[in-house]
């Protein structure tokens, strides 16, 4: 059975002085063993968030990582620098694809770096609005998966069990507009089928948790978790609000219990 995962992407919000108290408030509002909870603050807030979350069961993630181990890359952060600070890492977020011009090839190299370094990647994929309107959403996302796998040398399923994929339609991120649950579930199926088409066994592809991301709130999470193909959410704006996180994680815990009961 795949875990239910709720990951918070704080983006470029919080400071080293307010991040710890916010993390503590979220921990207090979301206590459960049924849901894998991850908070991804800005780099400079990793240490205070790690300290605030000690003993809560919530993992800490970074929002990005450089594909190389070290070198003359001013302003960049390597996987090794994250040791002791983060155990997860968002890779290929659409805001970085847009603002830092990250390609699928670069994203694949970053995935490989995460996996080799013991960081659990949350690999973001998703189509633009014009691509969905042109009926090309699944083809675009399948291509992102394939190119990332090839660039990361991950086309043999070796990393099943470590990789998490977040389907984030770009037009739904930060817009207040969400995908339909059924469309997100169809994309989750397409993603697992793309893994299979690129060298993964059916069993390996089936172990990969697929999250939905895009304007998720406590009010909208239910539509996504009602889909068996969806295993949680990557949450941006709402993840800065403990009350919203409480509602999202509570709904996720209900889903986790129901799936466990159904699996016997």
Residues of this chain that interact with ligand PEP (CB under 6 A) are 9, 11, 168, 173-174, 213-216, 234-238
Structure tokens, 187: 């994309």
CB atoms within 10 A of CB 148: 30
Catalytic residues: 93, 168
Nearer to ligand PEP, 9 or 24 (CB): 9
> Distance from CA of residue 159 to its chain's centroid?
16
Give the residue with the Cβ less far from ligand PEP, 198 or 239: 239
| Least distance in angstroms from the C-beta of 149 to ligand PEP | 21
| Strand 120-125, strand 5-9: pairing | unpaired
State which residue, 204 or 216, has the beta carbon closest to ligand PEP. 216
The nearest distance, CB 165 to ligand PEP, in angstroms, is: 13
Tokens of 88: 């997860």
Rounded to a whole number of angstroms, the minimum distance from the CB of residue 254 to ligand PEP is 20
**188 within 8 A of 227, measured Cβ to Cβ:** yes
Which of 38, 235 has the CB closer to ligand PEP?
235
Whole-Å CA distances, 164 to 26, 65, 88, 100, 232: 22, 16, 10, 22, 10
Instruction: Give me the least distance between CB of 122 and ligand PEP, in Å please.
Output: 9
Residue 211, SS3? strand
């Amino acid at each position: 059975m795949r875990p239910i995962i709720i990951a918070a992407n704080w983006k470029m919000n919080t400071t080293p002085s307010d991040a710890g108290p916010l993390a503590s408030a979220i921990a207090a509002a979301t206590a459960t063993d049924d849901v894998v909870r991850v908070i991804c603050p800005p780099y400079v807030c990793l240490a205070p968030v790690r300290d605030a979350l000690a003993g809560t069961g919530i993992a800490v993630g970074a929002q990005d990582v450089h594909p190389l181990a070290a070198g003359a890359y001013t302003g960049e952060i390597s996987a090794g620098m994250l040791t002791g600070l983060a155990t997860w890492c968002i890779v290929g977020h659409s805001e970085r694809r847009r603002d830092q011009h990250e390609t699928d090839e670069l994203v694949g190299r970053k995935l490989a770096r995460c996996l080799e370094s013991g960081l659990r990647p949350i690999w973001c994929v998703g189509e633009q609005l014009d691509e969905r309107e042109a009926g090309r959403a699944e083809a675009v996302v399948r291509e992102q998966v394939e190119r990332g796998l090839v660039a990361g040398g991950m086309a043999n399923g070796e990393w099943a069990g470590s990789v998490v994929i977040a389907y984030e339609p770009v037009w739904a991120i930060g817009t207040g507009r969400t995908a339909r649950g059924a469309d997100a579930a169809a994309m989750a199926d397409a993603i697992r089928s793309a893994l299979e088409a690129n060298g993964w066994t059916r069993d390996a592809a089936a172990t990969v948790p697929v999250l939905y991301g895009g304007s998720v709130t406590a009010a909208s999470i239910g539509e996504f978790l009602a889909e068996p193909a969806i295993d949680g959410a990557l949450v941006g704006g709402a993840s800065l609000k403990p009350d919203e996180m409480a509602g999202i994680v509570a709904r996720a815990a209900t889903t986790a219990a129901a799936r466990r009961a159904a699996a016997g």
